[in-house]
Amino acid sequence: MIWGSVWGALRRNPLTLFGGCVVVFLFAVAVSATLLPIPDPYAIDADAVLEVPSFAHPFGTDELGRDVLSRVVYGARISLWVGFVSVGIAIVIGTLLGSIGGYYGGWVDGLIMRFVDVMLCFPTFFLILAVIAFLEPNIGTIMAIIGLTGWMGVCRLVRAEFLSLKERDFVQSARALGVGNLRIIARHILPNSLTPVMVAAILGVAGAILTESALSFLGIGVQPPTPSWGNILTSGKDNIQIAWWLSLFPGLAILLTVLSYNLLGEGLRDALDPRLRGMR
Amino acid sequence: MLSYLARRTLTLIPLLFGITLVSFLVIHLAPGSPIDVLADLNPKMTAEAKQRLITYYGLDKPLHERYWQWLRRFLALDFGVSFSADRRAVMDKIKEALPITITINVLSLLLIFLVAVPIGAYSASHLYSTFDKVLTVFVYIGFAIPTFWLALLTLILFSVQLEWLPISGLSSLDYPQLSLAGKMWDLVSHLILPVLLSAFSGLAGLSRYMRGSMLEVMRQEYITAARSKGLSEAEVIYKHALRNALLPVVTILGLSVPGLIGGSVIFEQIFGIPGMGRLFFTGVMSRDYPLVMGILTIGAFLTLLGNLLADVSYAIVDPRIRRGGAG
Amino acid sequence: MGARGLIVFFSLSLSLSLYLSGCGERQRAETPAPNPKPGAVGLEPAHGDTVVEGSIGEATNLIPMLASDSASHNIAGLIINGLVKYDKDVRLVGDLAESWEVSQGGLQITFKLHRNVRWHDRHPFTAHDVLFGFQTIINPATPTAYAEDFRQVKKAEVIDDYTFRVTYEKPFAPALSSWGNLVVLPKHLLEGKDVTKSDLARRPIGTGPYRFKEWISRDRVILEANPDYFEGRPFIDRYVIRVIPDLATMFLELKAGGLDLMGLTPIQYKRQTDDPFFRDNFSKYRYLANAYTYLGYNLLEPKFQDKRVRQALTYAIDKDEIIKVVLLGLGAPATGPYKPGLWFYNPNVKNYPHDPAKALALLKEAGWADRDSDGILDKDGQPFEFTVITNEGNALRHRTAVIIQERLKKIGIRIKIRVIEWSAFINEFIDKKDFEATILGWTTGFEPDQYDIWHSSKTGKKELNFISYKNPEVDELLEAGRRTFEQEKRKAIYGRFQEILAEEQPYAFLYVPEALPIVHARIHGIEPSPLGISYNFHRWYVPKESQKYGRVALLP
């Protein structure tokens, strides 16, 4: 049901289709990075430090003489991985708490929603900084904390869906037939409330990639030598006046990716769920 | 109205409590301790000296005791003494930095509001025109560009190449000697880039939102009714539609406060602005527990205040909310 | 910046910027940097102008004994004098002390103080201020990191207003150098008060060439010349240190004229300041910093206990490659724990040129070979793998780690790199000795005593010999070095100490980076020395015609 309308949305809106194609393309590049005919992104060349783009190095080299094209390609893996996993965490937590709150209502719902309110009050970036700086800034911590501070929107969306869906006839009749709560949630309500979650997830990936790059700027993102778009861009920033290629290419990669995820997400939302139009 | 305000304020109390609890836990569950930063692997620092510092800061007490102690002091707006070598009261440090960050953020909010509303409204009333399309492109780029990168590019263009604007800080060295007009310009010129850039992504978001909200309103019956009464298109849009479309926008503006405050870390770092974002970042990097907790709490508190303000102004405009009770 | 006094502390340098702070070696000859000649025609010293320096970090506390960051010490060094200081040839000379006398076989030092010195509030300086400072620093309630040297003192007494005497329990060679600006405090302002709550931390009053004017938090500190300075009024009227937390922004600020002085990164030195604009407007300096970076092994790990393995690792690492890539050639290979060029440095120790074949041979002797042909050396069925930890926020160390990783991979050793936040790094890993190997740096001083880092009694938890290095001969040498006063004898003692370390390679000593300050060309009077350039800041000047900021009205 959902996939049919996704396809419809893609076909009708060329921008959404563009976003979708780029998303698929980047995903393919990231997955097949090891198969591509590009140099080792970790190979250091002491004699080729910060070289301008050339035939051998189409995106130039970085401050250790490594190939920037390879690093941007492998960076796609890391950046997308950060995006997917952190959003995955946020979706799981948000959906879980949102469906519990929405389905059971009462004080459980009250407690959960107050917790959501509390979390929404924090400048999220402050919270992320505090936790990452206090823990080890490795990729796991970064994904976990972006996820743990990003579930509130999903939680609210899912709760709202549940509130309206649980009063609907098919839920009421299932309940009358004595179907258990868990089964009603999992079988009847959840699948019907997934559209906004999917849209939120797609938009969330874009946000997570930007957050990682901001963390890298502060020196506490994904740590070198592992390439992420954020940390390549940051080393580009320090050399911006002598090595434009070192910030241009990862910068464009981030721009293009975030752009595509946003186009895809918003296009789908407008097509699938007009009520949410204009909201982020 | 008063009872609405009272009810609305009451709901803040459990939130405030939650905020303090979350801040405290986040900071204290992490491994490591600030004493290591003070000691800095100094060979002249003995174990006894370290122990003295630990006792000095009360770090040997159990967690709940420390929280309780901290909470009691917090109620008196006392966040304790910073762990950094200056041993200043956290509140003093925050007081110094907060006005700067608030000024920049309020200016950005104003800018966002004043620019986003007209272009969003215009764009909605001229759907799919060239302007609308340009706006859409701007919006998507505004969302997608890493702001620190953009900030550096603008610095190079306006401050190094064109030499129009200063690079960092809040005032020039010769500030005290300047005339009043000179002082004004000095301040303004230092603020232009930071305010513009921190407004940038918010601007994109809000104009998009305004456009959506406007489109929504235009579909409503009373707009159709107004049109059918023979009111001119301009009257319909600016008198009826705009006002109603603004309501949700105000709420969103309130919700964007935490994002702006969070973003201040990046801008203050790049533009060398002595505000709260940087205070927080240095605090985090040196594990200045009282400072980090103080700022986290104050930051959350400000958001709360922003939301309250948005709600109240919403309620003033729309009486239904007042009767409907606090959401 | 500023005359740094004699703070002999080995803090781990957190970032590159710290390298600018201390002191350094004279310029190396490879590319002679433009060095303005003082006294040339039309360049007479003149009063006036302002020097603006950029700093990544902000000072925390301007009472030296309470601060442990270089930003604070740099500023306080211009405001507060010690009893003694180093001159440009790294000899101890009097500062507030006119002269001193060592008696009773080194157990007693009697300082004669200058009589015409006043605090910046015009109150006269006397021996009571020194005694007060001493009592404050050894007071257990004072949270200072520098008390240990002063705890060796058995008795400190004021003989008269201008004579101060200390008596030591045992001969203690580093004694004299400890009487720098850590211990002098204005008694008339602090007596009976809690030094940790004093506002002198933010508005210091000293006796130095510059006096405190203003501190705008996280923005700038402004000092102005002390017209009554007992060594003569400094030329530069005003010294401003601006805090700019981002290196890229700081460099743009320098380029746009907002800064006169900053420490460059190797890339900025080599690639970004090599154009006519910078050649015309700035002077660059380079000298070895007082610091070195090393790869330290946890010697409790069985695989690192074999000396041959450690030697092999040093042979496998290409120090020159690290210097070429990480420092762009702006540094020297480290051969031991001291900076080349100082009197106690021993250049004739065992050297380890890059030699993978020799490394493999040594490893084979020690039982490591690739028996299962998986490309990784193994012994008793265990592959040769270990994790190197380093602290976050130090790009040079990260790159060093990456290069070592690549080199060791080539001889079949696999290492993993973990970057850990500073506090957790120290507390959870270094202090608990929960690491296999680590890349770190020490800041070194002009006193060879390194008892705390290498003596076997210092291997406890949270002590500095965290690699657990134990060698009876080294212990003896370190003890003898502390008891011996004659420089020649000490030189022999520490020379032997360096030979042993070079042979045993408890660390792979990697490199000594260069400090790379850049100064606006209008500023004259800079005389690079092993101490760096900033030790004679009060003699710097800008000739009248090239002054940028003009005169500042100084009230007496």
Among B140, B147, B266, B303, pick the best mutation site for testing chain A contact (most A Cβ within 10 A): B140
> In this predicted structure, what is the pLDDT of residue A274?
55
Query: Is the pLDDT reported for residue B123 higher than 90?
Result: no
Structure tokens at B36: 């290591």
| Residues of B whose CB is below 8 A from C11 | 40-42
Look at phi and psi of residue C4 and say left if phi exceeds 0, alpha if psi is from -120 to 50, else beta.
alpha
Q: What is the ipTM of this complex?
A: 0.84
> In this predicted structure, what is the pLDDT of residue C2?
34
Cα–Cα distance measured from residue A209 to residue A203, given in angstroms and rounded to the nearest whole number: 10
B100 is a domain residue = yes
| CB burial of residue B257 (10 Å; 0-12, 13-18, 19+) | buried
**Per-residue 3-state assignment (H helix, E strand, C coil) for C126-193:** CHHHHHHHHHHHHCCCCCCCCCHHHHCEEEEEEEECCEEEEEECCCCHHHHHHCCCCCCCCHHHHCCC
Query: Is the pLDDT reported for residue C246 higher than 70?
Result: yes
Structure tokens at C177: 């150098």
Residue with tokens 């849009």: B237
pLDDT digits (tens, 9 = 90+) for C61-76: 899 998 877 888 999 9
Partner residue facing B299 (CB), from A114, A120, A126: A126
Q: Give me the percent of chain C exceeding a pLDDT of 70.
A: 92
How many angstroms separate the CA of residue C355 from the nearest CA in chain A?
A: 17
> In this predicted structure, what is the pLDDT of residue A193?
80
- Interval C360-366 mean pLDDT: 95
Query: Is the pLDDT reported for residue C34 higher than 70?
Result: no
Among B15, B127, B135, B148, pick the best mutation site for testing chain A contact (most A Cβ within 10 A): B148
Residue with tokens 């893996």: A77
pLDDT top residue among C187 and C530: C187
Q: Is C392 on the interface with A (CB under 8 A)?
A: yes
Contact predicate A201/A87, CB 8 Å: yes
A53 is a domain residue = no
Residue with tokens 């460099």: C251
**Per-residue 3-state assignment (H helix, E strand, C coil) for C112-132:** EECCCCECCCCCECCHHHHHH
| Residues of B whose CB is below 8 A from C76 | none
Query: Is the pLDDT reported for residue B315 higher than 90?
Result: no
pLDDT digits (tens, 9 = 90+) for C287-325: 999 889 999 999 999 999 999 999 999 999 999 999 999
> In this predicted structure, what is the pLDDT of residue A3?
64
| Residues of A whose CB is below 8 A from B205 | 280
Structure tokens at A45: 């060349």
Confidence class for position C38, pLDDT limits 50, 70, 90: very low
- The secondary element (H helix, E strand) that includes residue C108 is strand C108-113
- Counting one residue from A and one from C, how many pairs have CB atoms under 8 Å apart? 69
Cα–Cα distance measured from residue A54 to residue C258, given in angstroms and rounded to the nearest whole number: 36
| Residues of B whose CB is below 8 A from A262 | 140, 143-144
Cα–Cα distance measured from residue B237 to residue C325, given in angstroms and rounded to the nearest whole number: 63
Partner residue facing C421 (CB), from A63, A136, A224: A136
Q: Which amino acid is at A261?
A: Y
How many angstroms separate the CA of residue C9 from the nearest CA in chain B?
A: 7
Q: What is the DSSP letter of C89?
A: T
**Which of the other chains make 3 or more beta carbon contacts under 8 angstroms with chain B?**
A, C
Cβ contact C424–A134 (<8 Å): yes
Cα–Cα distance measured from residue A67 to residue B124, given in angstroms and rounded to the nearest whole number: 46
**Which of the other chains make 3 or more beta carbon contacts under 8 angstroms with chain A?**
B, C
> In this predicted structure, what is the pLDDT of residue C365?
94
Contact predicate C520/C36, CB 8 Å: no
What's the pTM value of the predicted model, to 2 decimals? 0.85
- Counting one residue from A and one from B, how many pairs have CB atoms under 8 Å apart? 141
Confidence class for position C500, pLDDT limits 50, 70, 90: very high
Partner residue facing B149 (CB), from A125, A126, A233: A233
- The secondary element (H helix, E strand) that includes residue C19 is helix C17-21
| Per-chain mean pLDDT for chain C | 87
Cβ contact A126–B22 (<8 Å): no
Contact predicate C462/C431, CB 8 Å: yes
> In this predicted structure, what is the pLDDT of residue A174?
84
pLDDT digits (tens, 9 = 90+) for B1-46: 678 788 878 888 888 888 888 888 877 766 655 555 555 444 445 5
> In this predicted structure, what is the pLDDT of residue C7?
34
Residue with tokens 């906004």: A196
Confidence class for position C23, pLDDT limits 50, 70, 90: very low
Q: Give me the percent of chain B exceeding a pLDDT of 70.
A: 87
Nearest CA in chain A to C265: A238
Nearest CA in chain B to A111: B14
Partner residue facing A224 (CB), from C247, C267, C398: C398
Residues 6+ apart with CB under 8 A from C544: C44, C46, C48
- Interval B211-223 mean pLDDT: 81
Residue with tokens 């969302």: B143
pLDDT top residue among B245 and C31: B245
> In this predicted structure, what is the pLDDT of residue A152?
92
Confidence class for position C163, pLDDT limits 50, 70, 90: very high
Among A23, A111, A118, pick the best mutation site for testing chain B contact (most B Cβ within 10 A): A118
| Per-chain mean pLDDT for chain B | 81
pLDDT digits (tens, 9 = 90+) for B238-291: 777 887 888 778 878 877 888 888 889 999 989 999 999 999 998 887 778 788
pLDDT digits (tens, 9 = 90+) for C252-270: 999 999 999 999 999 899 9
How many angstroms separate the CA of residue A49 from the nearest CA in chain B?
A: 22
> What's the Cα-to-Cα distance from C13 to each of C57, C287, C354, C367, C440, rounded to whole Å?
12, 17, 27, 37, 8
What range does the domain containing A264 cover? 2-40+58-87+105-152+193-279
Query: Is the pLDDT reported for residue C14 higher than 60?
Result: no
Residue with tokens 């102008």: C49
Confidence class for position C4, pLDDT limits 50, 70, 90: very low
Nearest CA in chain A to B146: A210
- The secondary element (H helix, E strand) that includes residue C212 is strand C210-216
| CB burial of residue A157 (10 Å; 0-12, 13-18, 19+) | buried
Q: Is C68 on the interface with B (CB under 8 A)?
A: yes
Q: Is A80 on the interface with C (CB under 8 A)?
A: no
Q: Which amino acid is at C370?
A: D
Nearest CA in chain C to A49: C325
How many angstroms separate the CA of residue C487 from the nearest CA in chain B?
A: 23
> In this predicted structure, what is the pLDDT of residue C229?
94
| Residues of B whose CB is below 8 A from C460 | 47
pLDDT top residue among B187 and B73: B187
Nearest CA in chain B to C178: B44
Query: Is the pLDDT reported for residue C366 higher than 90?
Result: yes
Taking alpha carbons only, the member of A145, A143, A34, A18 closest to residue A84 is A143
Cα–Cα distance measured from residue C280 to residue C282, given in angstroms and rounded to the nearest whole number: 6
Query: Is the pLDDT reported for residue C27 higher than 50?
Result: no
Cα–Cα distance measured from residue B252 to residue C92, given in angstroms and rounded to the nearest whole number: 66
Residues of chain A with pLDDT under 50: 277-280
Buried/exposed B68-89: b ≥16 CB within 10 Å, e otherwise = eebeeebeeeebbbbbbbbbbe
Cα–Cα distance measured from residue A49 to residue A246, given in angstroms and rounded to the nearest whole number: 11
Cα–Cα distance measured from residue C213 to residue C204, given in angstroms and rounded to the nearest whole number: 9
What does the radius of gyration of chain C's CA atoms come to, in whole angstroms? 24
| Residues of A whose CB is below 8 A from C393 | 219
How many angstroms separate the CA of residue B306 from the nearest CA in chain A?
A: 10
Residue with tokens 């590049």: A29
> In this predicted structure, what is the pLDDT of residue C260?
95
Taking alpha carbons only, the member of C441, C444, C504 closest to residue C469 is C504
Cβ contact B213–A218 (<8 Å): no
> What's the Cα-to-Cα distance from C69 to each of A196, B262, C10, C11, C284, rounded to whole Å?
51, 27, 11, 9, 25
B199 is a domain residue = yes
> In this predicted structure, what is the pLDDT of residue C30?
34
In a 3-state reduction of DSSP, which class is residue B106?
A: helix
Nearest CA in chain B to A241: B156
Residue with tokens 């620093």: C137
| Residues of B whose CB is below 8 A from A280 | 205, 208-209
| Residues of A whose CB is below 8 A from C403 | 44, 64
Partner residue facing A123 (CB), from B152, B156, B303: B303
Q: How many CB atoms lie within 10 A of CB A250?
A: 31
A126 is a domain residue = yes
A47 is a domain residue = no
- Interval C214-225 mean pLDDT: 93
- The secondary element (H helix, E strand) that includes residue B95 is helix B90-125
Cβ contact C417–A63 (<8 Å): no
Contact predicate A194/A221, CB 8 Å: no
A100 is a domain residue = no
For chain B, the domain total comes to: 1
**Per-residue 3-state assignment (H helix, E strand, C coil) for C245-261:** CCHHHHHHHHHCCCCCE
Contact predicate C418/C428, CB 8 Å: no
Q: At what angle do helices A14-31 and A244-272 cross, to 10 degrees?
A: 130
Residues 6+ apart with CB under 8 A from A59: A53, A67, A68, A69, A72, A245, A249
Q: Is C433 on the interface with B (CB under 8 A)?
A: no
Cα–Cα distance measured from residue A63 to residue A45, given in angstroms and rounded to the nearest whole number: 10
A72 is a domain residue = yes
Q: Which amino acid is at B143?
A: F
**Which of the other chains make 3 or more beta carbon contacts under 8 angstroms with chain C?**
A, B
What range does the domain containing B185 cover? 90-326
Q: Give me the percent of chain B exceeding a pLDDT of 90.
A: 10
Query: Is the pLDDT reported for residue B237 higher than 80?
Result: no
Taking alpha carbons only, the member of C228, C281, C226, C260 closest to residue C552 is C226
Contact predicate C310/C51, CB 8 Å: no
Q: Is C447 on the interface with B (CB under 8 A)?
A: no
Q: Which domain CATH number covers B287?
A: 1.10.3720.10
Q: What is the DSSP letter of C532?
A: B
Q: Is C390 on the interface with A (CB under 8 A)?
A: no
Structure tokens at C533: 């350039």
Backbone angles phi, psi at B79, to 5 degrees: -95, 10
For chain A, the domain total comes to: 1
A178 is a domain residue = no
Query: Is the pLDDT reported for residue B91 higher than 60?
Result: yes
> In this predicted structure, what is the pLDDT of residue C203?
93
| C369: β partners | C378
> In this predicted structure, what is the pLDDT of residue C294?
96
> In this predicted structure, what is the pLDDT of residue A2?
60
- CB-facing half-sphere around the CA of A42: CA atoms within 13 A: 12
Buried/exposed A7-45: b ≥16 CB within 10 Å, e otherwise = eebbeebebbbbbbebbeebeebbeebeeeebeebbebe
B277 is a domain residue = yes
Cβ contact A223–C419 (<8 Å): yes
Q: Give me the percent of chain C exceeding a pLDDT of 90.
A: 62
